[in-house]
Amino acid sequence: MRRGFPSACLAVSCQFQRGPFFCCLSPPASPKIVDSLCVKGVTASLKKRRPQGGVKCMMGTPAVSSMQSFLARFLEEFPSPFGPENPPPVNPLSRRVTPGEIRGECLDLGLRLLTARGAPSLLSAAMCQAAVSELMKSDLTPFHCSQEAEQQEVALLDSEKLQRAFLNKLRDVGAAWQQQVPASLVPSARFRRSSVHAIRNSRRKMEDRHVVLAEFTQLLGLQDGVEREYYAIFDGHGGVDAATFAATHLHVILSQQEDLAKDTAAAFKNAFLVTDDMFKIKAQRERLRSGSTGVAVLLAGDWLHVSWLGDSQAMLVKQGESVTLMDPHKPEREDEKQRIEDLGGCIAFMGCWRVNGTYAVSRAIGDFDQKPYISNKADCSSVHLSGDEDYVLLACDGFFDVVQPADVPGLVLDALRDVPGGAEEAAQHLVAQAKAAGSGDNITVLLVFLRDPGQLLLQGQRPQCEGAAAP
């Protein structure tokens, strides 16, 4: 995303293959597929998540057999605990972390490790949750870094040593569960197909990040009986650090909000604020200069909640018609312009509208040199799902700058009808359409089908059939 001056965007190297990889693929992806996802950045598709083996997850069912088979392979690859002499099989995101960053960084590393080895997504989420819970109960004092000359505001821990301890906890969980898979690991009766695709396009760096967590509830250890899924896109500018941080931590912070069940909007808004505050500490410590817009969707039972900061967007399609969920934050939006001017700032047109002549966003995580003109206050909206919704689409401005929401239903139907792979390749088709329409920006599109794509095809063909039958 070209947000600030071009030189700022080109100065930061983007290690995309080390970014958070929360695409819990089902069926499991092979290491070859995952390598393609990380490096070529990104094509991923989530197949149907089918309930396996009936209502209860008992010994001998296909689901349990699949889990035990994976665990046997996992323990065969890692037969002994990780020691200082063992290079980590997955690189941690950071060299040092604060106590508040431990959970997000460990879950990221664990999911990347397990997904690359073809673990069932439910098993991956549950194992990571169990391992990080055990780690947080242990004494973390041995992992603390020595205090440097300048006193740190918060304690810092050595990430490599900490992640090695986490991996050993993960291995311990795997060994225990190989003997007896917990009966609580029951695959969801609700299944959805998802498709995500992202390209660097003509930009020198890939600064988008996306998160797909179909097992949000299991990964974060929520016990309130509500089945939740989480999907998000973060569009970075001036570097990838802010987008990576948000993709690693926002969902963790959201899960810790007391208001999550009774007031999801308040929980989402506070989670964005806390994420921004945490990133500010990291940015000051590591001298980072970047920002990121973000849009996140939480499916909770029969409710769809969307929260956003900046101009990344989500839209709903219901019975073939686009439904507006949000109004993206842009500097030229009248209320945003007024807010900035009331603070003593201004917006100026320099190829596009920019805040104080710098960034082309009015709200974002990061961009601390322009706070409070660049706000960290997210918005949120909620929709009750009646069952006749088709899908929800999330995308960055590299898509929505050239594709109108009203055109999306037709493009998705074209993909389902004409593209080999259908639902699995739908996001790739939409990205290709945006590129053909002239977008040179990073482009990420994430589709979550709320109904079987086959029903959408029948629905899309029905008017044509009725018209052909008319006299």
**CATH code of 435's domain:** 3.60.40.10
Cβ burial of 32 (10 Å; 0-12, 13-18, 19+) is: exposed
Note whether 447 and 322 are same-domain residues: yes
Note whether 167 and 127 are same-domain residues: yes
Note whether 245 and 108 are same-domain residues: no
Note whether 312 and 445 are same-domain residues: yes
Mean pLDDT, residues 33-61 taken together? 39
Mean pLDDT, residues 169-186 taken together? 93
pLDDT for 74 equals 97
**Residue 398 falls within a domain, yes or no?**
yes
Residue where a domain stops, chosen among 179, 210, 228: 179
**Residue 263 falls within a domain, yes or no?**
no
| Whole-angstrom distance, CA of residue 257 vs CA of residue 461 | 44
Residues 283, 381, 356, CA angle at the centre, nearest 5°?
45
**Residue 78 falls within a domain, yes or no?**
yes
| Whole-angstrom distance, CA of residue 12 vs CA of residue 17 | 15
Note whether 226 and 106 are same-domain residues: no
**Residue 281 falls within a domain, yes or no?**
no
pLDDT for 148 equals 58
Tokens of 286: 């590591």
Note whether 382 and 296 are same-domain residues: yes
Note whether 200 and 167 are same-domain residues: no
pTM, rounded to two decimals? 0.85
pLDDT for 420 equals 73
Question: Is the pLDDT confidence value at 21 over 50?
Answer: no
pLDDT for 344 equals 97
Please state, for a pLDDT cut of 90, what percent of the chain lies above it: 73
Q: Which long-range contacts (CB under 8 A, 24 or more apart) does 276-281 make?
A: 276/365, 276/366, 276/376, 278/98, 278/100, 278/101, 278/245, 278/249, 278/253, 279/241, 279/242, 279/245, 279/246, 279/365, 279/366, 280/366, 280/368, 281/98, 281/153, 281/154
Residues 361, 197, 216, CA angle at the centre, nearest 5°?
85
Residue where a domain stops, chosen among 149, 179, 209: 179
Q: Which of 78-87, 204-213, 231-240, 405-414 bottoms out in mean pLDDT, i.e. has the lowest? A: 78-87
Note whether 135 and 78 are same-domain residues: yes
Question: Is the pLDDT confidence value at 33 over 50?
Answer: no
Note whether 56 and 174 are same-domain residues: yes
**Residue 282 falls within a domain, yes or no?**
no
Task: Give tens-digit pLDDT for 356-414.
Answer: 999 999 999 999 999 999 999 999 999 999 999 999 999 999 999 999 999 999 999 99
Q: Decide if 135 contacts 166 (C-beta within 8 A).
A: yes
Question: In this structure, are strands 365-366 and 208-213 parallel, antiparallel, or unpaired?
Answer: unpaired
**Residue 37 falls within a domain, yes or no?**
no
**Residue 33 falls within a domain, yes or no?**
no
Note whether 168 and 297 are same-domain residues: no
Give residue 361's domain range: 6-16+195-249+288-469
Q: Decide if 232 contacts 297 (C-beta within 8 A).
A: yes
Residues 446, 449, 451, CA angle at the centre, nearest 5°?
175
Question: Is the pLDDT confidence value at 2 over 70?
Answer: no
Tell me the pLDDT band of 320, cut-offs 50, 70 and 90: very high
Question: Is the pLDDT confidence value at 249 over 60?
Answer: yes
Average pLDDT of the chain is 85
Note whether 60 and 118 are same-domain residues: yes
Note whether 170 and 75 are same-domain residues: yes
Tell me the pLDDT band of 291, cut-offs 50, 70 and 90: very high
Tell me the pLDDT band of 154, cut-offs 50, 70 and 90: confident
Question: Is the pLDDT confidence value at 445 over 80?
Answer: yes
Residue where a domain stops, chosen among 133, 153, 179: 179
| Whole-angstrom distance, CA of residue 231 vs CA of residue 213 | 6
pLDDT for 460 equals 72
Number of structural domains the chain divides into: 2
**Residue 59 falls within a domain, yes or no?**
yes
